[in-house]
């Protein structure tokens, strides 16, 4: 009986802390078009979208090699930045640095062109071969923000979310790009399922302690 209780507690803990696509929402992405910034021969932030038919929102791209066109549609999963569900999996330090770079673009510390190229360089070595990347100082930006990201707790990134494309759902070309969104007024909440699991874990813990004492 004691062994069964321990196994049940371990299972609940695993489910509660493991990143899972089950905690991600699916949304319909409609790419309105780029905002006009351009460097190195490609558009940079902002990329303007209507999500689920809503008002336009601006997101930043982290996927250099994938291509999209204005008017394209696809399905994406929305998940916390550090969920491990993005196109680059558990490259969490890179995602943290990308989020901080994006925040600096938003507050004007970095230009949109420099910031977006620095983000691309984090995830794609092909971006680092571009002449603009080499001449702009994007490599230095990467190093600075990776160092900063390594010193911050995961809780500092709750306001960032990933819009990860579902392969095969696109209306044009290959797999679309992945995007990062930021909303400082609405931090990503813990999924309801996680809250329920946490409540159950407390109950199981109390029951286990009573059993152990007996």
Distance, in Å, from the CA atom of 205 to the CA atom of 28, rounded to the nearest integer, reads 41
pLDDT of residue 212: 34
- DSSP for residue 50: E
Q: At what angle do helices 92-106 and 138-150 cross, to 10 degrees?
A: 110
Per residue in 148-206, pLDDT (tens digit) is: 999 999 999 999 999 999 999 999 999 999 999 998 875 544 433 333 323 333 333 33
Residue-range definition of the domain harbouring residue 88 = 2-213
Per residue in 57-94, pLDDT (tens digit) is: 999 999 999 999 999 999 999 999 999 999 999 999 99
Residue 42 has φ and ψ, to the nearest 5°, of -135, 160
Structural domains counted in the chain? 1
């Amino acid at each position: 009986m004691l062994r069964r209780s321990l196994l049940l507690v371990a299972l609940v803990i695993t489910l509660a802390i493991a990143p899972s696509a089950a905690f991600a929402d699916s949304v319909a992405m409609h790419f309105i078009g780029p905002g006009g910034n351009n460097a190195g021969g490609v558009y940079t932030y902002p990329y303007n979208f209507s999500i689920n038919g809503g008002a336009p929102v601006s997101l930043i791209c982290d996927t250099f090699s994938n291509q999209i066109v204005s008017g394209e549609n696809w399905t994406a999963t929305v998940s916390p930045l550090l969920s491990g569900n993005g196109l680059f999996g558990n490259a969490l330090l890179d995602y943290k640095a990308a989020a901080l770079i994006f925040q600096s673009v938003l507050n004007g510390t970095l230009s949109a062109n420099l910031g977006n190229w620095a983000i691309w360089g984090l995830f794609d070595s092909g971006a680092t071969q571009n002449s603009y990347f080499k001449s702009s100082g994007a490599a230095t930006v990467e190093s600075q923000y990776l160092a900063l990201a390594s010193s911050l707790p995961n809780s500092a990134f709750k306001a960032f979310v990933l819009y990860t494309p579902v392969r095969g759902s696109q209306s044009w070309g290959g797999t679309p790009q992945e995007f990062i969104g930021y909303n400082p007024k609405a931090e990503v909440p813990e999924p309801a399922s996680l809250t329920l699991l946490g409540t159950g874990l407390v109950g199981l813990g109390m029951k286990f302690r009573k059993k152990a004492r007996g």
